[in-house]
């Protein structure tokens, strides 16, 4: 039996992919930083949190919960701000580059959450909304 495809706008699928993909990339960066001296398991605390919160928002988007959009804004801006500050404070150049890319990804996810296809997906909004 072939599974039914998830019928949603491309913007909704891109937001879901961004929220999960950015968190996985953040986990990968933390995994590399684990090889640094004096690192501990606490290095994975924020990346793990971003993965859990991103997965909750994605689940809400898939289930068409209207509150998932506002939770997505909160998660996107919270981790966008975190990566902006990390980009400014990091000593390693590659951490600055990765944080800048993750910052841009989270802000783009927030912009897509405010697009009309996402509103139509969650709220059934018309073009007038």
Residue 51 DSSP SS3? helix
Backbone conformation region of residue 19, classed left if phi is above 0, alpha if psi is from -120 to 50, else beta: alpha
pLDDT score at 85: 95
Residue 14 DSSP SS3? helix
Confidence of residue 1 (pLDDT cuts 50, 70, 90): very low
Tens of pLDDT along 59-112? 999 998 989 999 999 999 999 999 999 999 988 899 999 999 999 999 999 999
Please give the Cα distance from 41 to 123 (Å, whole number). 41
pLDDT score at 67: 92
Tens of pLDDT along 42-71? 889 999 999 999 999 999 999 989 899 999
For residue 111, give the nearest of 30, 38, 15, 21 by alpha carbon: 15
Please give the Cα distance from 129 to 126 (Å, whole number). 6
| Contact present, 22 and 50 (Cβ < 8 Å) | yes
The structure's pTM equals 0.88
For residue 103, give the nearest of 128, 73, 78, 66 by alpha carbon: 78
């Amino acid at each position: 039996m072939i599974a039914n495809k998830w019928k949603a706008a491309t913007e909704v699928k891109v937001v879901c992919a961004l929220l999960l993909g950015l968190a996985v990339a953040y986990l990968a960066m933390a995994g590399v930083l684990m090889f640094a001296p004096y690192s501990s398991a606490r290095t994975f605390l924020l990346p793990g949190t971003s993965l859990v919160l991103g997965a909750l928002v994605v689940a809400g988007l898939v289930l068409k919960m209207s509150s998932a959009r506002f939770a997505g804004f909160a998660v996107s801006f919270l981790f966008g701000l975190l990566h902006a500050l990390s980009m400014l404070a990091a000593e390693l150049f590659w951490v600055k580059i990765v944080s800048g890319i993750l910052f841009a990804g989270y802000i783009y996810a927030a912009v897509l959450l405010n697009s009309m296809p996402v509103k139509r997906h969650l709220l059934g909004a018309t073009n007038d909304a």
